[in-house]
Each structure stands twice: as structure tokens, then as C-alpha cells.
């Protein structure tokens, strides 16, 4: 059996030492940069979530101004919705799927409240809710509005406090 | 025979072939991954673009102007279909990277937006101008969302249009991509010239007969908002969007006619039901000419009669 005699010079040792140090520095920098990037991304994700929530809230507030919701004399009321129109809209099958990316659209009365929850032909207008879309699985956002309609008893327009609830999938 | 020589040659040939195969497949897989991520990114951009158009819609405001900034040069593909109860607005994008346009992204479909633009609208300095104008006939039907990247020069526009452009551009302080000029020769060279009540421009508007002529085709309009939509759109997109708007108007008229019956039962006499039902019938139009000739006269009559109802207006 032959034994191999390898001779290492001083210079070779130095090179080896330097390589180890360089590798260690690279690993250290790698760890630091991974740490930095993860922190940066988490704050970026937070910013994106905030922006999305803001956009969603704007969409909810804008809903009262759409042709299907807006109150007839909305020249002076941007947050007034036409309750009669919304109740009649509920019956229209053609509007199913009209609002894409929205899992919930509900108009809810805040005050005064009646005994019946969901509005039907029998209970309207003495009811509390009109649900236009409900697909389940959503994150809901709301905006306060005035629910206006022509009131038979007082023979003029009557507005009550309500809110629009809209649900979206995966906002954050 | 030199065995060592044969063995050496084979290993080299094997190494070269195997290396080439590995390299080629690596390049192919990488380029595929880049392409698919480009399409994925552009699809997200198309989706975000549709969402970005929500806040710019009008509420009580008359008209609005906004700018959408993109991360890179982007093409926006506008497709319009009249299928279904409300028609479909489809949006997709393609972006420029490494001096090449990516594939057209997956299309995002929306039903409640009406985008008036050319079929392919390209950003200018990574920006697109967005002008939003509501449309009433006789009730609010929706918003005309005009998207444009190129420059326009309006030669001798009507006072109302001039006022509108000055209003949106904060008296000319903000560049909204539309210049106003008294002479066609004063227009910037790279702009699309729009003549009002005269000919000789890329687009000619006849305000008397309410026609916008572009590439030899006539688009009929009623009101300044629809006129702007016609100027900034391709013929096919304009005609399709007007039909879609009328589909929505028809659906809204159904709701209003039901409301008219309902409030009549509550002691609010209006006699609008038959007129609204007539409106529903004529709203089924084939082109913008039908819209101006058939729908507008009935819409104006409905508006007048509705305004006469003091306390119980229907719309």
C-alpha cells in the first residue's frame, strides 16, 4: 500500500482560509438580504392590502350613485338610494351576474327597524333588508345611505337611515 | 486500433450532445416560464384596470378626468359584445418587455362598464387618459368611460365642448391629451385632428346632423358626452357600446315601469307606464342611427312628462 505524501505550502493555506472567509461572508450577506427582503415584502403586502381596502370602500360609496340605486331627485343627495327601485330590481333575473366580483349586495335599514327581516311582496316596505346578491364567502364592507321612497301615508318623499353592505372575495 | 482515442471521442461527443440538450431545454423552460409569467402579469393588470375604473365613475359629478399609470408600455385591448342581457365588456392587456410585446393576456369580462376607445389603445409615456361622462336618456343609464393614449387636436369645437375641455384640464394647466385650436395648421404634428362643422381632418364632426365621421364611417350621437365617446372610439366599439347602453336603458325602463305601477297604487298618479313600455320596445336598436332617430325623441318626451310630476317623479 502506498501512502501519498501531500505537501501544502503556506500560500495554499492562505488561499483556503480566504475561500472559507469569502464563503462565510456570502452566506452572512445572503441571510441578511433574505431577512431584509422578507421585511420589505411584508410592508409592501400591507400597503397593497390598504390600497385594496380603500378601493373597495370607494366602490361601496359609489354604489349609491349607480343608475340602479340612485334616488330620482339625486341632484342634491349623493347618498340617497331609491328603495322602491331596489325592491323591484330584486325580482329581475336579468340582473343576476350583473355585478361581477361582488359576493354580497344588501341594503339594510338601520332606523326605524321592523319585525320582518328580508323584504317580500307582502312585507314591503315594512321590512329591514333587500338582498340583491349573496354568493357566500366574502369580506363585507358598508356605507351609510338614505333609503328614500314615495310614502303613501304622508303623500311625499320619505327618507330613512340605512346602509349598503357589499361583500368581496379575498380583499386582503 | 487506438482504444484510448475512441473512448475519448465518445465521451466528448456524449458530453457535447448531453450539454446541448440540457442547455436547450433549460433555455426553452426559462423562456416559457417568462412568457407565462408575462401573460399572468398582464392578466392581473387587465383585472386591476377594470377595478381601477370603479372609483372614476360619476356620482353627482358631471364629468371627470383621470390618468392611469402603468409600470411599462402597455396595450389595452378593448372588446365589446352585445351578447346577454347587458352585453359584455372585455379587457385584456399586453406589455412591452425587452423591446418585445408579450402575448395578449386572458380577458377580464365586466357587464356594467362601457369603455369607449380604439380596439387597441396604447399607452403614451406609460400613461392612459381616462375621461368619464354620464349618459342620460332620459334617466341615468351609465358612464361613458373614454380611454385614450394618443393626442387629439380639436379645431374650432363648440362652446360647450371647449368649456368642458378647459374645465377638465383646469383651464389648460393640466395636459389631458386634447388641445384646442382655431386652425388645423396650429395642431401638433403627431396629433389626431378633429374638425367641428368643417371637413379636412382625420375626424369630422357635424353638429347639425349629430354625426361623427371617421375612416369613412358615420357614428350618430346625441349630447356632447356621447360625441366625445364617438370621437375617441373605433366605429365597431362605439356602435357596440351604444347598443349595450340601450340594453341597460331597457332593463332600467322595466324597473321604472314597475315602479310607476307601484307608486300609482300608492296614490301617485303618473301615466308613464305606457310610455316606458314603448321606450323598452324602441330601445332594442341595431345601430347608433336608430338611437338618435327612435330612442331620443321618446326619451325627451318621457323626460318632459316626468318633470311635470311634481312630488312623485319616477326617475
Spell out the per-residue pLDDT of chain B, length 315, in tens.
455 555 567 777 888 888 999 899 989 888 877 777 777 778 878 777 777 777 777 776 778 999 999 989 999 999 999 999 999 999 999 999 888 899 999 999 999 999 999 999 999 888 999 999 999 999 999 999 999 999 999 999 999 999 999 999 998 889 999 999 999 999 999 999 999 999 999 999 999 999 999 999 999 999 999 999 999 999 999 999 999 999 999 999 999 999 999 988 888 888 899 999 999 999 999 999 999 999 999 999 999 999 998 778 899
Q: Is residue B23 part of a domain?
A: no
Q: Is residue B293 part of a domain?
A: yes
Its domain, for residue B265, covers: 246-308
> Is B315 at the interface with chain A, CB within 8 A?
yes
| Structure letter (DSSP) for residue A93 | G
Q: Is residue B234 part of a domain?
A: no
Give the side-chain half-sphere CA count within 13 A for A69. Answer: 27
**Which strand (E) or helix (H) includes residue B307?**
helix B296-308
Chains A, B: CB contacts within 8 A come to: 82
Q: Which residue of A has its CA nearest to B306?
A: A72
**pLDDT at residue A8, rounded to an integer:** 67
A65:B60 CB<8 A: yes
Which residues contact residue B133 at a Cβ distance below 8 angstroms, ignoring those fewer than 6 apart?
A: B58, B62, B63, B64, B143, B144, B146, B224, B225, B228, B229
C-alpha cell at A18: 480566504
B267:A152 CB<8 A: yes
Q: Choose among B55, B141, B268: nearest Cβ to A67.
A: B141
Which tens digit of pLDDT belongs to each residue from B98-145?
A: 888 999 999 999 999 999 999 999 998 889 999 999 999 999 999 999
Sign of CA dihedral A120, A121, A123, A125: positive
> Is A94 at the interface with chain B, CB within 8 A?
yes
How far is it, in rounded angstroms, from Cα A77 to Cα A60? 16
How far is it, in rounded angstroms, from Cα A29 to Cα A24? 9
**pLDDT at residue A156, rounded to an integer:** 83
A100:B110 CB<8 A: yes
B255:A85 CB<8 A: yes
Q: Is residue B176 part of a domain?
A: no
Q: Whose grid coordinates read 427582503?
A: A37
B-contacting residues in A 98-137 (Cβ below 8 Å) = 98-101
Per-domain boundaries in chain A: 56-168
Q: Is residue B97 part of a domain?
A: no
How far is it, in rounded angstroms, from Cα B303 to Cα B315? 9
**In a mutagenesis test of the B interface, which of A54, A62, A72, A97 is the best target, namely the one with the most B β-carbons within 10 Å?**
A72
**pLDDT at residue B6, rounded to an integer:** 53
Confidence band of A151 (pLDDT split at 50, 70, 90): confident
Q: Is residue B93 part of a domain?
A: no
How far is it, in rounded angstroms, from Cα B256 to Cα B306? 11
Q: Is residue B294 part of a domain?
A: yes
Q: Is residue B156 part of a domain?
A: no
CA B310 to chain CA centroid, Å, is 37
**pLDDT at residue A2, rounded to an integer:** 59
How far is it, in rounded angstroms, from Cα B284 to Cα B288? 11
Which residues contact residue B4 at a Cβ distance below 8 angstroms, ignoring those fewer than 6 apart?
A: none
Q: At what angle do helices B273-282 and B235-265 cross, to 10 degrees?
A: 160
Contact status, residue B86 vs residue B147, Cβ threshold 8 Å:
no
Count CB neighbours of B206 within 10 A: 15
Q: What is the CA radius of gyration of chain B?
A: 27
Which tens digit of pLDDT belongs to each residue from B293-302?
A: 999 999 999 9
**pLDDT at residue A152, rounded to an integer:** 82
B55:A62 CB<8 A: yes
A86: closest CA of chain B, how far (Å) = 9
What total number of domains does chain B contain? 1
Sign of CA dihedral B239, B54, B147, B212: positive
Q: What is the average pLDDT across A25-43?
A: 88
Amino acid at each position: 500500500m502506498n501512502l501519498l505524501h501531500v505537501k501544502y505550502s503556506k500560500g495554499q493555506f492562505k488561499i483556503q482560509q480566504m475561500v472559507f472567509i469569502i464563503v462565510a461572508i456570502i452566506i452572512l450577506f445572503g441571510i441578511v438580504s433574505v431577512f431584509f427582503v422578507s421585511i420589505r415584502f411584508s410592508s409592501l403586502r400591507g400597503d397593497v392590502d390598504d390600497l385594496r381596502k380603500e378601493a373597495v370602500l370607494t366602490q361601496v360609496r359609489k354604489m349609491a350613485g349607480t343608475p340602479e340605486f340612485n334616488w330620482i331627485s339625486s341632484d342634491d343627495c349623493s347618498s340617497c338610494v331609491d328603495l322602491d327601485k331596489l325592491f323591484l330590481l330584486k325580482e329581475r333575473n336579468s340582473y343576476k351576474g350583473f355585478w361581477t366580483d361582488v359576493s354580497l349586495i344588501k341594503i339594510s335599514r338601520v332606523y326605524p327597524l321592523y319585525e320582518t327581516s328580508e323584504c317580500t311582496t307582502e312585507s314591503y316596505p315594512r321590512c329591514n333588508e333587500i338582498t340583491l346578491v349573496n354568493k357566500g364567502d366574502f369580506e363585507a364592507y358598508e356605507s351609510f345611505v338614505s333609503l328614500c321612497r314615495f310614502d303613501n301615508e304622508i303623500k311625499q318623499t320619505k327618507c330613512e337611515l340605512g346602509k349598503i353592505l357589499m361583500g368581496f372575495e379575498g380583499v386582503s | 486500433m487506438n482504444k484510448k482515442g475512441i473512448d475519448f471521442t465518445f465521451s466528448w461527443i456524449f458530453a457535447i450532445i448531453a450539454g446541448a440538450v440540457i442547455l436547450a431545454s433549460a433555455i426553452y423552460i426559462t423562456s416559457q416560464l417568462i412568457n407565462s409569467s408575462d401573460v399572468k402579469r398582464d392578466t392581473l393588470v387587465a383585472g386591476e384596470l377594470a377595478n381601477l375604473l370603479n372609483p372614476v365613475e360619476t356620482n353627482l359629478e358631471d364629468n371627470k378626468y383621470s390618468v392611469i399609470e402603468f409600470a411599462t408600455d402597455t396595450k389595452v385591448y378593448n372588446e365589446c359584445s352585445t351578447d346577454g342581457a347587458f352585453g359584455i365588456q372585455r379587457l385584456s392587456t399586453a406589455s412591452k418587455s425587452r423591446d418585445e410585446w408579450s402575448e395578449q393576456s386572458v380577458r377580464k369580462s365586466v357587464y356594467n362598464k362601457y369603455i369607449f376607445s380604439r380596439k387597441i389603445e396604447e399607452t403614451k409615456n406609460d400613461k392612459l387618459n381616462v375621461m368619464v361622462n354620464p349618459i342620460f336618456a332620459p334617466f341615468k343609464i351609465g358612464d361613458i368611460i373614454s380611454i385614450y393614449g394618443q393626442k387629439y387636436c380639436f379645431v374650432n369645437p363648440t362652446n360647450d365642448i371647449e368649456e368642458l375641455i378647459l374645465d377638465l384640464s383646469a383651464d389648460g394647466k393640466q395636459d389631458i391629451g386634447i388641445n384646442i385650436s382655431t386652425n388645423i395648421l396650429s395642431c401638433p404634428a403627431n396629433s389626431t385632428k378633429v374638425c367641428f362643422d368643417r371637413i379636412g381632418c382625420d375626424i369630422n364632426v357635424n353638429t347639425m346632423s349629430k354625426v361623427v365621421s371617421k375612416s369613412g364611417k358615420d357614428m350618430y350621437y346625441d349630447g356632447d358626452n356621447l360625441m366625445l365617446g364617438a370621437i375617441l372610439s373605433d366605429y365597431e366599439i362605439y356602435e357596440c357600446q351604444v347598443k349595450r347602453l340601450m340594453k341597460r336603458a331597457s332593463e332600467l325602463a322595466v324597473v321604472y315601469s314597475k315602479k310607476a305601477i307601484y307608486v300609482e297604487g300608492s296614490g301617485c298618479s303618473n301615466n308613464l307606464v305606457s310610455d316606458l313600455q314603448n321606450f323598452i320596445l324602441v330601445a332594442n336598436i341595431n345601430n347608433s342611427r336608430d338611437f338618435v332617430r327612435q330612442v331620443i325623441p321618446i326619451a325627451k318626451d318621457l323626460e318632459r312628462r316626468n318633470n311635470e310630476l311634481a312630488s312623485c317623479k319616477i326617475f
